[in-house]
Structure 1
Amino acid sequence: MSFQGEITHLSQKGLGVVQHPENGLSYFVAGTWPGDRGEFEITDRALNNRKYGYARLIRLIQSSRHRKTPECRFLGFSSNDCSGCPWMIADYDSQLEQKKNQFLYAMHRAGFDPADLNIGAMQPSPDLFGYRNRFQVKTDGEKLGFVAEGSHHIVPIEDCLILNPACRQHLQTLRKHLPSREWSPAPGDDWNFIDLDDQSPAEPVLLNRKQPFRQGNDAQNQWMRSWLKHALEQHGHSHKIVELFCGSGNFTEVIAQTGCPEILAYEADPQAITVLQQKNLPGVDARTADLYHPFIWKILKKNVQDAGILVLDPPRSGLKTLRGFFETFTSLETICYISCDPVTFARDAWTFCKNGWSFSDIQLVDLFPHTPHIEIMATFHKHQEHTAKESKR
């Protein structure tokens, strides 16, 4: 049974939210934007005590004033469409506004008062298309493309507008191999994946081999590196800086420019650490460590307890646990936290603030236009009164 309603806001995952006029339940709808009025069909009803479900847009009655026609002909919201850039349906200024709203909502849910947060304008991407320097496609030997949201269906892609020129050319090179028996998945698998970036050749094609992590937008990554450089210059030098989740050294290169004599960089991926070690950055000691080990803070304590500055750029799951963190980093004065997830950042930030820390700077960065993703950069400082209490112990 269908119903009519208006999209009032976006969910934390970037889906439109509409309230059913009769039962009062909220439904999440892909491919919609605040201000859209339409007819919707329920696809997943609310169960048990849930107060929400899922629906799909059947008919758009009145468009949001921010809605626009997507440039990509492959964009859609069915199992036969690519939905990798779901926000391409809206103008860019509105996208930036919604990303900031998502961050503020996550901070509010964690316990912060959004009115107390001093957040400047989001750093927009200079390029809305042709910005992506890496990509991953799936193939079964017959088709090559991206997997439709919530399915195991490969959507064949002939082109991708967000890829930069080198990556777009890689995509065309891969398509020339089809059909390919060598690309057929093993029994029980749905596909193979191919991971490429603009710094590696498309051939020979290497199946199921991941490239080392790299920020996907070069221009925005350079801006983030500049932000970190400025933050480290502003907040003094330390005889020891620790970096967690260093990858292959994207931000380690910036830290090394400070002239700090002792820099410890930790990462779980041995391949990334090998790449970092080969850079021979001055003062950098790069080490492999499972940073999600349940006793990681005890393991690291001997080496990091005298560090004055911490730089971290964790995956979407954030730090996961901060139990023992503050007893390990006993000399910290500054934390530079780079995050790709508002929810886990807000969770960790709340824990920091409850343990004698406050943030002096929060900067939002749009790394991936047309998607709900957002990058957060923040500087935390230990309260002076908290430092004084510790010195008396």
Structure 2
Amino acid sequence: MTRSGGRRPPRTARARTPRGESRVGTRFEVEVGPIAHGGFCVARHEGRAVFVRHALPGEQVVVVVTEGTEGDRFWRADAVEVLVPSAHRVVPPCPYAGPDACGGCDLQHVAVPHQRELKAAVVAEQLRRLAGLDLAVTVEAVPGDTPPGSGLGWRTRQRYAHLPDGRQAMRKHRSHDLVPVDHCLLESPDPAAHLVRDVSFDVAGDGFWQVHPGAPAILVEAVLAGLDPRPGESALDLYAGVGLFARFLADRVGDARRVTMVEGDRAASGHAAANVPGAPALAGDVATVLGRLPVEPVDLVVLDPPREGAKRAVVEQVVARTPRAVAYVACDPAALARDVATFAEHGYALASLRAFDLFPMTHHVECVAHLVKSDSDLR
């Protein structure tokens, strides 16, 4: 898939026309409401929504506004004092986590098991709001953190910014401002091992590979379990990266030539060709490449798009090929829900969904959705 090999550039506040006097720095008390997509909870103050970081649902906290003007519909804020704490609140293990500090972790103040419950609530809410689905969601723990169960020491690729004096640093939330950091507790003691099910993968030094050590194997397992590939079937692996899913699809269908990979990054596509010998590896924008290919039936499709999702143009080209099953790997639940809704318009129903905690201490969650044609014999 078209993703960079390291951390994505920091998300910064969008420039916008001020709507009155700035309220940055304003302090007030709020009762914290539900968790929302993006690593914050929603509170209300004098009728205005306030997106609060470093808080938990049900808490009574003092917040300081970090973004917002008098005329804005909502403000962003940090909880700087906890008056009534949640039973799930813990002391963050990292000294750099918290308001006006490193912005890499959203949930270090939350007990790890409850982090997963909050992420499950977000996935379920996005599916309900954007796809009209009422689904119970469980976020599964994935082995690979160090020490086990800590939610720390899992990030096998870590990049630091650097201060003018050479010290390493991390960025603040929604900012380019730097915070000196001796060591990130999420960093794994071991480098990434490009080995899955005894298969070694060729990956560029700066190419994309899942940063959680347990991610590649569990995602392959989930994709194959959902698709149940059969000998002789054909498959498309879209946003194929270096061919992780295609490699094992080829084994199951019995002929790599029946698995076509499409990847936007040419270097990754070259590695995919080496990792899945015999499988066609097409480089280019997925929607554009699909538009150039004959619209012929295909049995199976894997989608592993970047954070913005596959979007309608790709989904409609997928359903035009009438696959019996689609596996959709998603790192953003809102994008997943929007695309699931588009699939539903074309007769594809969500048959199952698994969610994985591949990014402990952050709000991010990875999902594998399994979609089938409504009139399919696969249920």
Question: Does residue 342 of structure 1 match 2:326?
Answer: no
Question: Does residue 232 of structure 1 match 2:227?
Answer: yes
Identity among equivalent positions (%) equals 25
Question: Does residue 105 of structure 1 match 2:125?
Answer: yes
2:108 is aligned, of 68, 83, 88, to 88
Between 324-333 and 33-42, report the one with greater CA deviation.
324-333
Higher relative contact order, structure no. (Cα contacts within 8 Å, ≥ 6 residues apart) = 2
Query: Who is 1:35 aligned against?
Result: 58
Q: Runs ≥4 in structure 1, deviation > 4 angstroms?
A: none
Q: CA RMSD in A?
A: 2.5
299 and 74 in structure 1: CA distance in 2 versus 1, 3 angstrom threshold: same
307 and 364 in structure 1: CA distance in 2 versus 1, 3 angstrom threshold: same
1:147 is aligned, of 167, 171, 191, to 171
Q: What are the residue-to-residue correspondences of 1:1-393 with 2, within 5 Å?
A: 1-20=26-45, 23-45=46-68, 48=71, 51-78=73-100, 81-114=101-134, 117=135, 119=137, 121-126=138-143, 127=145, 128-140=151-163, 142-166=166-190, 211-233=206-228, 236-261=230-255, 262-279=258-275, 281-293=276-288, 296-300=289-293, 302=294, 305-322=296-313, 325-326=316-317, 329-384=320-375
CA drift of 1:34 comes to 1.3
3-state secondary structure, aligned to 2:158: strand
Q: 1:53-97 deviations in whole A, cap 9, x for unaligned? A: 12232422121111000111121221xx21212201000121111
3-state secondary structure, aligned to 2:280: strand
Query: Who is 2:21 aligned against?
Result: none
Q: 1:341-390 deviations in whole A, cap 9, x for unaligned? A: 1011000000111111112111111101111101110111112289xxxx
Gaps of 5+ in 2: 1-25, 146-150, 195-203
Do the aligned partners of 1:75 and 1:85 also contact (CA within 8 Å) in 2? yes
CA drift of 1:324 comes to 7.8
Alpha-carbon distance in structure 1 between the residues aligned to 2:353 and 2:232: 22
Do the aligned partners of 1:298 and 1:324 also contact (CA within 8 Å) in 2? no
**TM-score of the aligned structures, taking structure 2 as reference length:** 0.81
Amino acid aligned to 1:12 = H
Q: Which has the larger radius of gyration?
A: 1
3-state secondary structure, aligned to 2:252: coil
Alpha-carbon distance in structure 2 between the residues aligned to 1:83 and 1:215: 21
CA drift of 1:47 comes to 6.0
Do the aligned partners of 1:40 and 1:57 also contact (CA within 8 Å) in 2? yes
3-state secondary structure, aligned to 1:155: strand
Alpha-carbon distance in structure 1 between the residues aligned to 2:317 and 2:80: 52
273 and 324 in structure 1: CA distance in 2 versus 1, 3 angstrom threshold: closer
Q: 1:130-157 deviations in whole A, cap 9, x for unaligned? A: 1111122223552322221122122222
Alpha-carbon distance in structure 1 between the residues aligned to 2:209 and 2:344: 30
CA drift of 1:113 comes to 3.4
Between 344-353 and 331-340, report the one with greater CA deviation.
331-340
Query: Who is 2:199 aligned against?
Result: none
Do the aligned partners of 1:297 and 1:328 also contact (CA within 8 Å) in 2? no
Kindly indicate which of the two structures has a greater share of residues assigned to helix: 1
**TM-score of the aligned structures, taking structure 1 as reference length:** 0.78
219 and 337 in structure 1: CA distance in 2 versus 1, 3 angstrom threshold: same
